[in-house]
Structure 1
Amino acid sequence: MSQKHRKTCEVCKCNREVHDVFHREFVNVRERLGLGDTLGRANKEICLQEGYTWVPAGLTSEQIYDYMSCLPGHKVPRLGTPGEKARERLLMLQLPKQDLALPYTRHVEVQHHTSFKDFITARNDIALDIGIVNPSLDRGQDCSGCGDVIPRGAVGVLAPRIGDADIWHPSCFTCTTCNELLVDLVYCVWEGALYCGRHYAERLKPRCAACDEIIFSGEYTKAMSKDWHSGHFCCWQCDESLTGQRYVLKDDHPYCIKCYEAVFANSCDDCNTVIGIDSKDLSYKEKHWHEKCFLCNKCQVSLVDKQFGSKMDKIFCGPCYDAQFATRCDGCGEIFRAGNKKMEYKARQWHEKCFCCCVCKTPIGTKSFIPRDQEIYCAACYEEKFATRCVKCSKIITSGGVTYKNDPWHRECFTCTNCSASLAGQRFTSRDDKPYCADCFGELFAKRCTACSRPITGIGGTRFISFEDRHWHNDCFICAACQGSLVGKGFITDGADILCPECAKQKLM
């Protein structure tokens, strides 16, 4: 149920669309518009047969499928899907009943009934129409919405009020103002552009932000960048008229002074009375005071624009706070006066200027620091005194170091002993406690394949074959005649060559 003139729930004041309060019966848009419908029951049966709450008129089942395939999935009005609710929402928003016929209005005065009827008649005769679906274009045309080409044979939508020269993709047939799909292809034309019924009306007439009806009266209120019937610009809480009255905006809603102070104003922590909109509200840690009540709890001096301290939910001027509660700096031994910035770490506290590096005496402030044995170090001094150093260059390793044989190295310092290529993140091996890259190790120390002469490194699990004083990669251990692999098979040597038994036998015959 709505509040008086509002389109909102009287319990929570949300718009009705938020509560999913829509039409649940079959809705024929032509009947809703008052245009009549010769299809009647047959149209409803076609929709239900195809599984939709609405389908374009005059299409076959296949053409209906082609049209629906062009729409965004969540906008397809298929029964029992989010698209069904989306259509119902658009019906309510784009074609509000109070824009369609006088019996649905509640706030059009008797003297303006004729103006309302003239508006409806002119709209229906000049601007209002229903788009026509062309299921298969006989030639390619540019879409009047997005500008892209609609190819020959594709689905297009025509707006007879604009003319046959313009055509749209089904998904581009939208309102110029809200960019929503025009529900059931219902559109209005204004200056050559498409509009839904709601926004067409708003091009010509103001709409009341409270009751959502078009305003036909020459006198109305403009406030908050919106239009209102003169009697409808009311307090969001008590519904009293705000026309000509002071009001306060809260969450985009207007409130009279009395309701705003009753609902939103804070109470003074000292005198327990409301802090009205004409009083200055001074706050600290969720507590609030009138300006005249913001006083030291001990000496009652005003604390407005003065430093103060807080203890046990009470506020004190600087001298009173220091006299009763001030603590002392672990650096200089002096007290922390009210308003002084205090630096704390592990139950110890310092003045900001006293919280400094024990080596260079530079104040730490908001910079990073490192504690060690009850002392505080800045990052630079800590690194100089304690940081890990590279065994090769002796410089500090700040990040991304490499450990080899329990020694730290910079990544760029950990290189191949032979070619100086970086070994960080690469395969390597060692000889005599020195690191080598795979290539150098192979060239310098590895056995060489009798067939290809390349090193047999064994890195990465490479297998090889040895026979007498010769060695082969697994892939190179093949018959010299037929090139077949001899791995795991018998073979016969023929000088420098090795042969499989079959090739050896043929050579001897």
Structure 2
Amino acid sequence: MATSEVRTATSVQRDGSGQNPARKQDNGAGCLKCGDHCPGLDLHEWRNCCTQCKCRREDHDVYSRDVTTLFQKLQISQDTPVARGYAWVPPGISSLEKKCYKCEGTIPEGSIAVTTSHTGSDVCCHPGCFCCSTCQVLLVDLLYFYHDSSIYCGRHYGESLHPRCYGCDELIFAGEYTKDMSKQQWHATHFNCFSCNCSLTGHRYVNRDTNAYCLKCYEKLFAFPCEGCGKKIGTDVKDLSFNNKHWCEKCFNCSKCGKSLVDQQFTQKNDKIYCAQCHKELFLGKCDACGEHFSPGDKKMEYQGKCFMEKCFTCKECTKPMGTKSFIAKDDSVICQICYEDKYAKKCAICGKVISMGGITYKDKPYHKECFVCTHCKKQLSGERFTSKDDKPYCINCYGDLFAKKCAKCGKPITGLGGTKFISFEGQNWHSQCFNCVGCGTSLVGKGFTNEGGRILCPDCTNAEAAVKAR
């Protein structure tokens, strides 16, 4: 919101009609902003805007009609070599190479150059460089103006002498004019409200979309209703907005405690606004360890249906926060992996390291699978048959070779595994399947027998051999 100021300029009398006939030729041009919503440019009687869509004249297609290019003016086709390098030199141009006074580039011999009566024939430029120093519009074969060693089109030459009214887009020759807060100049009679057309000179106003409005029209057209009291938020009241909702300063309060939220942190929930404390108490819940309310942005750790603050979700042993580290549950508590391995995890009886998965228990001692091996040959015993000697494990082969009795018949070790039966007599041992009569081969298990020089015989074979010896 601002108040205008009045400036004085040289007074030049305007014509009697007050209308610029050149403005009428643009009527009907399509709007580049509104498209089909605007039926065509219909200039206001003095404003430089359309009465149909309210867009400015330059927002309409007023420059694309009847535009003549340099090539068309010279009647040269743009597709010919002549357009890329001119084949003739106008009379009066020297055949010597010269420099363009604007770009300082060389003008080759035989090329077109432009000279003016103001600068003299010795000063020339490329045709493409002969343009308005303000808007860069090409001025070849057009009316130009020379002022302070610069070339201007008619529009900007006029602006170098007189201010231009932002309302009607014409030069201001009147004795007084107005300058608004955006530094735009206006005829004193044109600085009016864009809606009701009342004069704004010396009055408070509001700029919106490059247009000025009196306070009454601005509040009627653009002021938002307050979400609290429902009244329009006037220009003298601070408009506080969030998520396309607006409040006046006295209504911008917490929905629970009524505390003013101006310049305070707040949160919107279910179309209502709350101060940070009320939002925590109503929606964020409490930590099941310390009982404090969570704050926005706090990390919430959930475990077994309970919620914990990051600082409260700690290891039972070392009391350090778990964060995102791995942990093990034990007796309704959590223990970090390091503490659990140090105090609770099983350790291998051989290497002393933690058994994290799998493992073997033998005689109430835990072992890694790869550590539980035969005492003699170091073969892994996991999934294999084995026995022990002096509380040390041995595979079947090593035990038989090292400690088992040998069968007197087959010479193989008698391990006794799996309920194997054997016979022992006078320091000799036999597998039950090997304890047979050497004469007839009859099994002697549970029967009478004789030992003849280490030869085991059944009673019948003994008698037969005795009869042979008696003859």
TM-score normalized by the length of structure 2: 0.50
C-alpha spacing 1:331/1:133, structure 2 compared with 1 (3 Å): farther
* Structure number, greater radius of gyration: 2
State the shift of 1:168 in Å.
Answer: 0.8
Answer yes or no: is 1:276 the counterpart of 2:234. Answer: yes
C-alpha spacing 1:213/1:283, structure 2 compared with 1 (3 Å): closer
State the shift of 1:303 in Å.
Answer: 3.6
Answer yes or no: is 1:342 the counterpart of 2:360. Answer: no
Q: Which amino acid aligns with 1:55?
A: K
State the shift of 1:142 in Å.
Answer: 0.7
State the shift of 1:285 in Å.
Answer: 3.1
C-alpha distance in 1, partners of 2:315/2:84? 70
C-alpha distance in 1, partners of 2:134/2:70? 27
C-alpha distance in 2, partners of 1:133/1:355? 91
C-alpha distance in 2, partners of 1:272/1:263? 16
Q: Which amino acid aligns with 2:168?
A: C
C-alpha spacing 1:155/1:137, structure 2 compared with 1 (3 Å): farther
For 1:188, which of 145, 170, 173 is the aligned residue?
145
Counterparts of 1:383-398 in structure 2, within 5 Å, are none
State the shift of 1:234 in Å.
Answer: 2.3
Match of 1:258, SS state, is: helix
State the shift of 1:267 in Å.
Answer: 1.6
For 2:118, which of 153, 157, 161 is the aligned residue?
161
C-alpha spacing 1:278/1:333, structure 2 compared with 1 (3 Å): same
C-alpha spacing 1:63/1:336, structure 2 compared with 1 (3 Å): closer
Normalized per residue, the structure richer in helix is 1
Partner of 2:156: 199
C-alpha distance in 1, partners of 2:92/2:307? 80
Q: Which amino acid aligns with 2:52?
A: V
Answer yes or no: is 1:263 the counterpart of 2:221. Answer: yes
Kept after mapping to 2: 8 A contact 1:133/1:158: no
Counterparts of 1:68-217 in structure 2, within 5 Å, are 68-69=83-84, 137-182=94-139, 184-217=141-174
Partner of 1:55: 73
Answer yes or no: is 1:225 the counterpart of 2:183. Answer: yes
State the shift of 1:215 in Å.
Answer: 1.2
Match of 1:283, SS state, is: strand
Number of residue-to-residue matches in the alignment: 283
State the shift of 1:153 in Å.
Answer: 1.1
Partner of 1:286: 244
Kept after mapping to 2: 8 A contact 1:343/1:355: no
Match of 1:228, SS state, is: strand
Kept after mapping to 1: 8 A contact 2:76/2:83: no
Q: Which amino acid aligns with 1:5?
A: W
Query: What does the per-residue CA deviation read over 1:263-320, in whole Å, with 9 as the maximum and x for residues that have no partner?
Result: 3322210111111121122233332211211233344343444454443212344565
C-alpha distance in 2, partners of 1:264/1:229? 26
Match of 1:179, SS state, is: coil
Partner of 2:60: 19
C-alpha distance in 1, partners of 2:136/2:66? 26
Match of 1:275, SS state, is: coil
Match of 1:282, SS state, is: strand
Q: What root-mean-square deviation, in Å, do the aligned CA atoms of Structure 1 and Structure 2 show?
A: 4.3
Q: Which amino acid aligns with 1:3?
A: H
Counterparts of 1:292-307 in structure 2, within 5 Å, are 292-307=250-265
Partner of 1:388: none
Query: What does the per-residue CA deviation read over 1:66-114, in whole Å, with 9 as the maximum and x for residues that have no partner?
Result: 775479xxxxxxxxxxxxxxxxxxxxxxxxxxxxxxxxxxxxxxxxxxx
C-alpha distance in 1, partners of 2:92/2:77? 10
Partner of 1:314: 272
TM-score normalized by the length of structure 1: 0.47
Partner of 1:238: 196
C-alpha distance in 2, partners of 1:374/1:283? 49
Partner of 1:8: 49
Kept after mapping to 1: 8 A contact 2:254/2:261: yes
Structure 2 segments unaligned to the other structure (5+ residues): 1-41, 330-337, 339-471
Structure 1 segments unaligned to the other structure (5+ residues): 28-50, 72-131, 365-369, 376-380, 382-509
Kept after mapping to 2: 8 A contact 1:134/1:156: no
Partner of 1:82: none
Kept after mapping to 1: 8 A contact 2:310/2:321: no
Kept after mapping to 1: 8 A contact 2:226/2:248: yes
C-alpha distance in 1, partners of 2:76/2:252? 77
Match of 1:138, SS state, is: coil
Higher relative contact order (CA 8 A, sep 6+): 2
State the shift of 1:5 in Å.
Answer: 1.5
C-alpha distance in 2, partners of 1:12/1:363? 64
Q: Which amino acid aligns with 1:196?
A: C
C-alpha distance in 1, partners of 2:147/2:277? 73
Identity of aligned residues (%): 42
C-alpha spacing 1:66/1:303, structure 2 compared with 1 (3 Å): same
C-alpha distance in 1, partners of 2:85/2:96? 18
Query: What does the per-residue CA deviation read over 1:164-205, in whole Å, with 9 as the maximum and x for residues that have no partner?
Result: 111111111111112232264431111221111111111111
State the shift of 1:65 in Å.
Answer: 6.3
C-alpha distance in 2, partners of 1:292/1:68? 71
C-alpha spacing 1:139/1:355, structure 2 compared with 1 (3 Å): farther
Kept after mapping to 2: 8 A contact 1:142/1:167: yes
C-alpha spacing 1:183/1:311, structure 2 compared with 1 (3 Å): same
Kept after mapping to 1: 8 A contact 2:85/2:111: no
C-alpha spacing 1:241/1:287, structure 2 compared with 1 (3 Å): same
